[in-house]
């Protein structure tokens, strides 16, 4: 399977385009699946959601970037709270781990 993001700068460009309403570079053909995931989790009472973006480093191997969203007070609006990037060079186990303290947050995978 071809990777959607081959370098971290591609992720950065996609994240920067999202506030302007351009989600195409982030989700490509997965936008409907993402919004179905969001609706289902909001209906179940989730207050945080994450997106896991799978990346590959030529010298290190696979690693993840996480986008953490919080549900706003009305329960139907999401706010991007954090972009969580593991320190995989100093802590190799963190590269493929769920961010510490976020183990129970439901996530959607983009690869």
Taking only the tens place, the pLDDT of each residue in 18-35 is 655 556 667 778 888 988
Where does the pLDDT of residue 75 fall: very low under 50, low under 70, confident under 90, or very high at 90 and above? Answer: low
Residue 98 in this model has a pLDDT that exceeds 90: yes
Long-range contacts for 65-70 (Cβ within 8 Å, ≥24 apart)?
A: 65/8, 65/11, 66/98, 66/99, 66/102, 66/107, 67/15, 68/99, 68/102, 68/105
Residue 6 in this model has a pLDDT that exceeds 80: no
Where does the pLDDT of residue 1 fall: very low under 50, low under 70, confident under 90, or very high at 90 and above? Answer: very low
pLDDT recorded at residue 10: 65
Average pLDDT over every residue of 28-56 = 88
């Amino acid at each position: 399977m071809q990777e959607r993001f081959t370098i971290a700068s591609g992720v950065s460009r996609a994240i920067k385009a999202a506030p302007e309403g351009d989600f195409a570079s982030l989700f490509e053909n997965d936008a409907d699946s993402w919004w179905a995931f969001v609706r289902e989790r909001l209906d179940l009472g989730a207050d945080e959601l994450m997106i896991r973006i799978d990346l590959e480093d030529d010298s290190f191997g696979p690693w993840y970037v996480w986008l953490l969203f919080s549900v706003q007070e009305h329960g139907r609006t999401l706010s991007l709270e954090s972009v969580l990037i593991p320190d995989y060079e100093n802590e190799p186990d963190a590269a493929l781990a769920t961010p510490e303290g976020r183990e129970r947050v439901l996530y959607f995978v983009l690869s």
